[in-house]
Amino acid sequence: MWYRARGVSIMSRTLIFIRHAHRDTEDPSRDNGLSEKGKAQVTDLVHYFKSWCNREHEDARIKLMCSPKKRCIQTLEPIAAALERKLDVDARISEVQFLETEVSVRERLEAFLQDWKSRSSEVTLVCSHGDVIPLCVQMLTGARIGIKKAGFVQIEGVAGDFFLTALIQKI
């Protein structure tokens, strides 16, 4: 999307973090996929983002990325299919690991965010986790949020500044 300010056109970037849908908790120690509730949440997300892209970003370059966890892939794959886009997996946006230091978490997320800032995609949809998303939002905008499963947050970047423009907890 382009903005005009003082006669100059400035391109904005949109970053949307989606928290994975409800996971199957039969064995929490495994990398489970989605529960039936989670699959229903994904159906709602597909309808929302397909409509949103057709309405507001029909011609935009859209990139989709997710954590390597099965629940994130299963949340974003149907959206990628509906938008006819490829899904990229990026381990840097995986959940915080046991014994991982705060410094190492921030370093990998900062590397991810720096890569996003330098990309040419106008819109990036990222599926990640409830511990990673609030930290990324805080690192970009200074805002502190909580985010429910299948919720999403939208950040707009304009001329090097980043603004939290939406926090949707349920569609």
Q: 3-class DSSP state for residue 84?
A: coil
Domain housing 62: 2-23+40-168
Domain presence at residue 31: no
Return the CATH number at 145.
Answer: 3.40.50.1240
Mean pLDDT of the residues in the chain:
91
Average pLDDT over residues 24-41: 92
- Residue 149 CA neighbour count, 13 Å, CB half: 16
Domain presence at residue 33: no
Question: Is beta strand 152-158 parallel, antiparallel or unpaired with respect to 8-19?
Answer: antiparallel
Domain presence at residue 35: no
- Choice between 9 and 67, residue whose per-residue pLDDT is larger: 67
Query: Does pLDDT of 57 surpass 70?
Result: yes
Confidence class for position 130, pLDDT limits 50, 70, 90: very high
Domain presence at residue 19: yes
Domain presence at residue 82: yes
Cβ-based neighbours of 134, under 8 Å, separated by 6 or more = 144, 145, 146, 147
Please report where in the chains the tokens 């973090």 appear, as a residue.
17
Domain presence at residue 29: no
Query: Does pLDDT of 8 surpass 50?
Result: no
Domain count along the chain: 1
Domain presence at residue 149: yes
Instruction: Look at residue 9 in the predicted model and tell me its pLDDT.
Output: 45
Query: Does pLDDT of 163 surpass 70?
Result: yes
Instruction: Look at residue 3 in the predicted model and tell me its pLDDT.
Output: 47
- Quote the tokens at residue 138: 């805080």
Domain presence at residue 97: yes
Torsion of CA 69, 97, 104, 117, to 10 degrees: 20
Query: Does pLDDT of 92 surpass 90?
Result: yes
The CA distances from residue 59 to 65, 96, 132, in Å, are 19, 35, 29
Tens of pLDDT, residues 114-126: 999 988 689 999 9
Query: Does pLDDT of 7 surpass 80?
Result: no
- CA 30 – CA 1 distance, rounded (Å): 40
Instruction: Look at residue 6 in the predicted model and tell me its pLDDT.
Output: 52
